[in-house]
Amino acid sequence: MGIIVRDLHKAFGPKVVLDGFSVEARDGETLVVLGGSGSGKSVMLKHLVGLLIPDAGEVEVDGQVVSTLKQEELFELRRKVGYVFQFAALFDSMTLAENVAMGLRRKSDLDEEGIADRVDECLRLVDLEGYGDRAPAELSGGQRKRAGIARAIATRPQYLLYDEPTTGLDPVTRAMIDQLILRMSEELGVTGIVITHDMDSAFRVADRFAMLHNGRCRFHGSPDEIRASEDPVVRGFIEGRPELLEMES
Amino acid sequence: MQPLLKPFAMLGQGGVPFAAGIGRWGQLTADTVRAVRHVDVWLRLLLPQMARVGVDSVPIALFIALFTGIVLALQASYTFTGAIPLYFVGVLVGKTMMLELGPVLTGLALSGRVGANIAAEIGTMRVTEQIDALETLAYPPVAYLVVPRALAGIIMFPVVTALAIGMGIVAGWITAIQLLDMSSADFFNGLTLFFLPFDVTYAMIKATSFGFIVTSIGCFFGFHTKGGAEGVGDATTRAVVASSMAILVLNAFWAIVLL
Ligand SMILES: Nc1ncnc2c1ncn2[C@@H]1O[C@H](COP(=O)(O)OP(=O)(O)OP(=O)(O)O)[C@@H](O)[C@H]1O
Ligand SMILES: [Mg+2]
């Protein structure tokens, strides 16, 4: 049923962040959302799981309008969604293995043995085998980020939201995470939204692109379409040419 | 501004105005009561929290009660010079520890220890998005964070308070027989003279309510933390100031209602 964002508005005090943003990720599709730093990508993503409430407009996930759900219904929906936080947001009072197990304890019917197996499997998928007993504080930024990914995929959710999953990783690990995102989509049919600044990984994982600019959707289309786009804002962003963006304003 | 009003003004600075703050704290309290039904979420967290609230606070509570008991006995005998029989030292130490100083001093000490600790911990979780992460993993944050802490406060404050009262009375007794030429019989005679079972109930009602107020205010300021390290520091200070004041107000409230 996918994810549909309709005319989303959000302001913090006088600061308007989203000003009528609309986008759609169809069932089984991976949508890459591009946009400058501070353009509101993380804010947009938080609306999809009800961490923020829209000022106007609505978000539909799995056929349900998120902001109208009762608490219990919202938790039901969240069981189907995995969220990778930009800054990992690991529980710092727990080990990595406990972090990854948290979602499983709540969202799955696995017994302790099943949970332990799944935790090992997920840590292996993000190349953190043997790190289960470490505390988050003992890890590098990139390792923490990968642990955050392991925690999000552990429950095998139907929807995965990745907030800059490869930022700060070396090229090899980055390619590995891209592979993982592809596998989630191909093998488990996950509907995904990936926020990224990294154009190589964007083109590796995207079925479609959207670009958030000045609070609105500036571009929405296929990888071929974005390559062919004549829009100076889009070109400036994917080619890293600030002069094109300046022309616009 | 009058210096007396300063603590109140401080509570109002930055984001949470005083009256609105009380409203939102009431909201959190209502949410907490409603979240108790998620037993599967909070049950396994209760024991560790009870250990933290209880065991960690026993030394400081006993320390305070020890010296309070000594001073109470000495001041009683100083005040009573001849006019009143010396066994009234036992009356004063017992009644004061039980009705007032045991619960209140313990409550104030724990608002500094437990309340600050809770506000800092939950505030850090807030600013590092760990509370958001809990939500995305389908945990109700109030059931996961607030309920076990509030219950631990409600259960453990009376226990710690009872120990403190016992320590204060023992300290008063030893002071009386060592420094005041009183016999143990005199002291215990006084201790039991005006004792009512209601004194214990009264002390425990106070301790229970202080346990809830300190933990829930700590959680409240933690939840509403904004910004980074500075925000966490701010939340911690506010939690201690607010819960100390709440203890004193509540203390007067119980005196008016129950005595
Ligand atoms: N809770 C909040 N309160 C106030 N302002 C906020 C809040 N969250 C985000 N903002 C503001 O919203 C704007 C967009 O933030 P957001 O984190 O979504 O950017 P982003 O597109 O994810 O940027 P980046 O690529 O750097 O992560 C920023 O200007 C930020 O200051
Ligand atoms: Mg962001």
Q: What string of DSSP letters covers A186-240?
A: HHH--EEEEE-S-HHHHHHH-SEEEEEETTEEEEEE-HHHHHH---HHHHHHHHT
B140 — contact with chain A (CB < 8 Å)?
A: yes
Write out residues with Cβ below 6 Å of ligand 1. Answer: A 12, 17, 35, 37-43, 86
pLDDT, residue B80, reads: 83
Tell me, yes or no, whether A64 and A170 share the same domain. yes
Which member of B130, B133, B138 has the closest CB to residue A75? B138
Best mutation site among B32, B39, B130, B137 for testing chain A: the one with the most A CBs within 10 Å?
B137
Which residues in chain B are closer than 8 Å to A87, comparing Cβ atoms? 128-129
Tell me, yes or no, whether A145 and A179 share the same domain. no
Asked whether residue A28 is assigned to any structural domain, the reply reads yes
- What residue ranges do the domains of chain B occupy? 44-258
Ligand 2 centroid – CA A195 distance (Å): 8
Asked whether residue A225 is assigned to any structural domain, the reply reads yes
B133 — contact with chain A (CB < 8 Å)?
A: yes
Tell me, yes or no, whether A164 and A76 share the same domain. yes
Asked whether residue A116 is assigned to any structural domain, the reply reads yes
How far apart are the C-alpha atoms of B15 and B17, rounded to whole Å?
A: 6
Tell me, yes or no, whether A8 and A63 share the same domain. yes
Asked whether residue A99 is assigned to any structural domain, the reply reads yes
Instruction: State the nearest Cα–Cα gap between A103 and chain B, in angstroms.
Output: 5
Q: Which residue has the tokens 């203890």?
A: B247
Tell me, yes or no, whether A112 and A165 share the same domain. no
Amino acid occupying residue A216: R
CA distances in angstroms from A220 to A62, A224, A242, A247, B182, listed in the order given: 20, 11, 21, 21, 90
Which residues in chain B are closer than 8 Å to A106, comparing Cβ atoms? 41, 137-139
Tell me, yes or no, whether A150 and A172 share the same domain. no
CATH number of the CATH domain containing A30: 3.40.50.300
Ligand nearest to the CA of A40: 1
Q: Which residue has the tokens 């850090």?
A: B124
Asked whether residue A73 is assigned to any structural domain, the reply reads yes
Instruction: State the nearest Cα–Cα gap between A23 and chain B, in angstroms.
Output: 21
Range of the domain at A194: 3-80+158-248
Domain boundary among A115, A131, A156: A156
How far apart are the C-alpha atoms of B234 and B222, rounded to whole Å?
A: 10
Ligand 1 centroid – CA B71 distance (Å): 57
Tell me, yes or no, whether A61 and A175 share the same domain. yes
Give the tokens for residue A151.
């925690």
Whether the per-residue pLDDT at A46 is higher than 80: the answer is yes
Q: What is the mean pLDDT of chain A?
A: 94
For helices A96-107 and A141-153, what crossing angle results, to 10°? 20
CA distances in angstroms from B148 to A197, B38, B115, B143, B201, listed in the order given: 41, 11, 14, 7, 24
The pTM score is 0.91
CB distance A92–B130 less than 8 Å?
Answer: yes
- Asked if residues A40 and A5 have their Cβ atoms less than 8 Å apart, the reply is no
Question: Parallel, antiparallel, or unpaired: how do β-strands A191-195 and A64-65 relate?
Answer: unpaired
pLDDT, residue A243, reads: 81
Query: Other CB atoms closer than 10 Å to residue A185's CB: what's the count?
Result: 19
Name residues of chain B where pLDDT drops below 70: 1-16
pLDDT tens digit sequence for A93-124: 999 999 999 999 998 889 999 999 999 999 99
Q: Which of A124, A121, A151 is nearest to A136 (CA)?
A: A151
pLDDT tens digit sequence for A20-43: 999 999 999 999 999 999 999 999
pLDDT more than 70, % of chain A: 99
Give the tokens for residue B46.
């209760």
Instruction: Put residue A10 in one of left, alpha, beta given phi > 0 → left and psi -120 to 50 → alpha.
Output: beta
Element (H, E) at B78: helix B58-80
Closest chain A residue by Cα to residue B137: A103
pLDDT tens digit sequence for A148-168: 999 999 999 999 999 999 988
Tell me, yes or no, whether A61 and A180 share the same domain. yes
Domain boundary among A156, A180, A206: A156
Instruction: State the nearest Cα–Cα gap between B138 and chain A, in angstroms.
Output: 5
Tell me, yes or no, whether A147 and A172 share the same domain. no
Give the tokens for residue B155.
């259960």
pLDDT, residue B6, reads: 56
Tell me, yes or no, whether A129 and A174 share the same domain. no
Tell me, yes or no, whether A200 and A189 share the same domain. yes
HSE toward the beta carbon, residue A67, CA cutoff 13 A: 15
Residue ranges of the alpha helices (H) in B81-196? Answer: 88-96, 102-110, 116-127, 130-136, 141, 147-179, 184-193
Asked whether residue A85 is assigned to any structural domain, the reply reads no
Which member of B128, B134, B138 has the closest CB to residue A107? B138
Give the tokens for residue B90.
């036992």
Tell me, yes or no, whether A148 and A165 share the same domain. no
Q: How many domains does chain A have?
A: 2
Q: What is the DSSP letter of A128?
A: -
